[in-house]
Structure 1
Amino acid sequence: MGEYGPEAIAPKDCIACGHCVAVCPNEAIDHSLTPLAGQLPISEFNKFSAEEAERFLRSRRSIRSYKKTAVPREKLLQLVEIARFAPTGGNTQGISYVIVEDKETLRKATEMTIKCLENDPVLGTRYHAIVDAYREEGTDVILRDAPSLILTTAAKEFKNGRENSIFSLTYLELFAPSLGLGSCWAGGLEFYALMEDSPMLELFHIPEDKVITGAVMVGYPMYQYKRLVDRNPLDVAFFSPGKVTV
């Protein structure tokens, strides 16, 4: 395969994943789309033990109380830099990021979401407590007074936009604690922002050919967790042909 890689054999099947270059033990394969020079030797990094990996994953928490301290742009850029390495369907990638730091814009986004809930006869009833807390007490449970919001965007016609964004923002969330940061999915805002004709597209200056595909709040946690919490007991079954597991 030499310098041409497997695309010389089946060019239509190549998705530029770089696996052919990464797996070769003798550095005998190069690829024009994923050059050997841009790959890092894994041997230079220590792997987590199973116990370390378990504790790392379980220590991730959704942070809903933030300090007022602004997050330096260097750290926000580090977050989206790691997010772009997340796996994507068929290596399609296709995700862009918008980092929002302006407090007034974030306030407007919360206000727009609250109005959306108020004007919806079903959601207004279901989430009246959220609306009342905001209107009566100024309590923002949409963006939690987080100093930063990170949006993912993708082309309107890109069918994997939402799924790839979920992968990417999950990487971002897992990486955030290593920078002393906390994060939380902005589910309330997503409900309104992910609509194809959402006014938030204009608020956040999203290009006309793109849509918002995800949203995560980021900031310095107000509190530090001291323990790993438990979850519901594991519910799992091994499939056996011809048998029904109850």
Structure 2
Amino acid sequence: MNELRFFVDERKCIRCGACVRDCPAQILKFDATQHPAMVEDGAKSCIRCQHCLAVCPSGAISILGRDPMDSQRAGAEPAPEAMLAQIKMRRTCRNYRKEAVDADTLHKLLGMLDWVPTGVNNHSLDFAVVDDPAVMDEIRAEVNDRVLAMMKMDPLPPFAARMERYRKQILAGRDVIFRGAPHLIAVSSKADSPCPEIDPVIALSYFELYAQTLGVGTTWCGLAAGAFKVFPKLRQRIGVPDGYELGYVMLFGPTSLKYPRATQPGKVRLHSVK
């Protein structure tokens, strides 16, 4: 036992060595009885990925106080064809019903975030979720009022200039930024984390695909992310913590639209490196 609470149940261990081979930090070894053990000062290098717990075929390893019997067992993963179909059918939603996602679905969707991967298993992301449509309407009104005021300036400020093609729609009062969505999720990362730019994007990619399985529409919203970055008070409004930088924003909510077929995109540029 140690500060990581790494424990091997020798009654279950089959001494296969999978945990020793799979440890990303290379801090496991075989002891004199050929059971896995942690090297001296190994806790300092552990990234707490729990690979040792996950890879053990007999459930003999516990770490960080986690009981392997509480982990989901392999075998429930979607077939490759089903996963590919899910990716092909992914669409951006810009037509939302004026109602909240039901509590059970929201609980499932947000609960999934515990499993999103991050660089070096850092897991320090902050998720700001607007789960109340009334609060969403307040934020929508504040952002739209600020942008509308910008659009009346001459010359246009840089952020407003990015939205020049939407100017007529914004001046007409259309909700160009939030598309009537009842919810949003904003992801922020610590400035000193290993991968602050990409971690929020990875998290929202997982969020989007899982949302689709639950019948929830999503929109990658660069305009909302831009607005929050331009207006400090809006970042305070959604509670971005000190020391964190806003990464990206995704809108989500119930939608009446159904897509009976996938699109037919052109081929990506792909080459083999020799």
The TM-score bracket by the shorter chain reads: 0.7 to 0.9
Instruction: Please name the residue that 1:194 is paired with.
Output: 229
Change (3 A) 1:19 1:221: same
Change (3 A) 1:21 1:126: closer
Change (3 A) 1:26 1:161: same
The unaligned stretches of length 5 or more in structure 2 are 9-18, 20-26, 29-37
Give yes or no for contact 1:117–1:123 (8 Å, CA) kept in 2.
no
Q: Please, what TM-score do these two structures have when normalized by structure 2?
A: 0.76
Equivalent position amino acid for 1:223 in 2: L
Give yes or no for contact 1:194–1:213 (8 Å, CA) kept in 2.
no
- How many residue pairs get matched? 236
CA RMSD of aligned residues (A): 2.6
Aligned match for 2:248, one of 214, 220, 226: 214
The unaligned stretches of length 5 or more in structure 1 are 241-246
CA distance in 1, matches of 2:265, 2:165: 26
CA distance in 2, matches of 1:210, 1:67: 32
Equivalent position amino acid for 1:88 in 2: T
Equivalent position amino acid for 1:20 in 2: C
Aligned match for 2:163, one of 127, 133, 142: 127
Q: Select between 125-134 and 52-61 the one with higher mean Cα deviation.
A: 125-134
Q: Select between 150-159 and 50-59 the one with higher mean Cα deviation.
A: 150-159
CA distance in 2, matches of 1:205, 1:79: 20
**Following TM superposition, by how much is the alpha carbon of 1:206 offset from its aligned partner in structure 2, in angstroms?**
3.2
Instruction: Please name the residue that 1:175 is paired with.
Output: 210
Please list every run of at least 4 consecutive aligned residues from structure 1 whose deviation after the TM superposition is greater than 4 angstroms.
Answer: 4-7, 113-123
CA distance in 1, matches of 2:148, 2:46: 46
**Following TM superposition, by how much is the alpha carbon of 1:34 offset from its aligned partner in structure 2, in angstroms?**
4.6
Percent of pairs with identical residues: 23
CA distance in 2, matches of 1:34, 1:109: 43
Equivalent position amino acid for 1:56 in 2: Q
Change (3 A) 1:161 1:118: farther
- Deviation by residue 1:11-63 (Cα, 9 ceiling, x = unmatched): 332111111111111222221265424422113x2x32322121111111110
> Higher helix share goes to which structure?
1
